[in-house]
Amino acid sequence: MSIVNQSEPPRLPSKTKAELDRISNLPRHLVEQILLHLPIRDLVRTSVLSRTWRYKWATTPYLVFDKQCLNVSSQDQTLIKNKLVNIIDHVLLLHKGPIHKFKLSHRDLLGITDIDRWILYISRSSIKEFILEIWKGQQYMPPSCLFNCQNLIHLELFNCLLKPPLTFKGFKNLRSLDLQHITIIQDVFENLISSCPLLERLTLMNFTGVTHLNIDARNLQFFDVGGNFDDVSFQNTPHLALVSIGLYVNINNDENNAQDSSSKLLRFFVNLPQIQRLEVQNYFLKYLAIGNVPSRLPNPCVDLNYLSICVDFDDLGENTAALCLLRSCPNLQELEMLTRLEKRTTVERSTNFWEDDHWSSQFAHLRLDGKWELMKELLRFRRASIYAEVIYLDP
């Protein structure tokens, strides 16, 4: 007769290695998605999980080297730089397969010559997205091999000096271009934009060397610019729908009007037939007020549904330009108006310009919910900022 030990728990069947390692048994596309969302430091660490995982990380097509790839408590810049260079060199040495995205953005990285080597390496791959942000030191000039990357879809450069080789004929597949704190001469800039036939998104911030923004891009849909420039014009931009422009430096309209009486406002809108969203920031409304401002545009912006204007309510020219815009947007749904206060020796009393009776007919068909009356009161008392949202109703 056998005696059963009632104190011992029943034995459970042992699990196989396959049951314990559920991640490795996931479908390949799910494993790849997991790897794509890991920071590069954690991505490389997966090599210690098992023999199966040793080199899985080395085939990821997305390489992002940012603040998450390096965890160093030291403030020694040389030590940080050397560690970062070693990490990038190690990853590129062991990497297998194509590289579709390469991003280098670390706060402690200078424009060192090692970057030339890395760009040369990735230029031999089918790179589609390249992001380089140099946060410290002098502007970095990318090597000529960057301009050989004809598979590029997105290019983003920060604190760079651009000098393409004479043989450069444009990026034939580029759809998005983001240039910030860059130096580029006028003709090189114009050639760069016009030689990217598929360009849809263009961002320019704090640039040097370009004074006339001549934008020639047939497929452009989004344009965001902020900086110091003398002029802006659009050519062959029938699909441009979202525009945000900020002019960072004040201009002398009296001097400009004496030199040229043609309307900047008319010229600005002539090649924007499908504009849907417009943001006029900083001093750009003052630029639009140069020349003879019409009471309304000859071709109304029928698709424009959002308008944001930064205006000096004590400047008669800016008020006139703002009124022309409002009269020319019959289907406007959202309106944001921000005031910019200027120091003057004499003040033009133009605030009551917005309180005249012509507004009652201009906005007779709006559902205001009292917001327009509130806006006029704020104008009356010179408040620092104004916001009004208006909705046009069907007549």
Count of CA atoms in the C-beta half-sphere (13 A) of 100: 6
Q: How far apart are CA 199 and CA 191, in angstroms?
A: 13
Whether the per-residue pLDDT at 225 is higher than 70: the answer is yes
Given a contact cutoff of 8 angstroms between Cβ atoms, the answer to whether 318 and 289 are in contact is yes
Confidence of residue 73 (pLDDT cuts 50, 70, 90): low
Which pLDDT score is estimated for 386?
41
Given a contact cutoff of 8 angstroms between Cβ atoms, the answer to whether 315 and 281 are in contact is no
Given a contact cutoff of 8 angstroms between Cβ atoms, the answer to whether 301 and 326 are in contact is no
Whether the per-residue pLDDT at 362 is higher than 60: the answer is no
Q: How far apart are CA 49 and CA 42, in angstroms?
A: 11
* Three state DSSP letters for 38-64: CCHHHHHHHHHCCCCCCCHHHHCCEEE
Given a contact cutoff of 8 angstroms between Cβ atoms, the answer to whether 388 and 366 are in contact is no
Confidence of residue 12 (pLDDT cuts 50, 70, 90): low
Q: Which amino acid is at 336?
A: E
Whether the per-residue pLDDT at 82 is higher than 60: the answer is yes
Higher pLDDT: 353 or 152? It is 152
Beta strands 277-282 and 306-311, pairing class? parallel
pLDDT digits (tens, 9 = 90+) for 290-316: 999 999 999 999 999 999 999 998 899
Beta strands of the chain (E only): which ranges?
Answer: 62-65, 101-106, 129-134, 154-158, 176-180, 201-205, 212-216, 222-227, 231-235, 242-247, 277-282, 306-311, 334-339, 366-367, 391-392
The two tokens of residue 320 are 């006139």
Given a contact cutoff of 8 angstroms between Cβ atoms, the answer to whether 146 and 123 are in contact is yes
The answer to pTM > 0.85 is: no
Q: How far apart are CA 170 and CA 156, in angstroms?
A: 15
pLDDT digits (tens, 9 = 90+) for 279-293: 999 999 999 999 999
Whether the per-residue pLDDT at 147 is higher than 70: the answer is yes
| Most confident listed range (47-56, 73-82, 150-159, 345-354) | 150-159
User: Mean pLDDT of all residues in the chain?
Assistant: 80
Q: Rounded to 5 degrees, what angle do the CA atoms 140, 156, 308 make?
A: 120
Residue with tokens 């199966």: 52
pLDDT digits (tens, 9 = 90+) for 231-253: 999 999 999 999 999 999 888 75
- Which positions ≥6 away from 199 have C-beta within 8 Å? 174, 175, 176, 177, 193, 217, 219, 220
Which of 40-49, 58-67, 84-93 is predicted with the least confidence, judged by mean pLDDT?
40-49
Given a contact cutoff of 8 angstroms between Cβ atoms, the answer to whether 272 and 237 are in contact is yes
Which pLDDT score is estimated for 91?
84
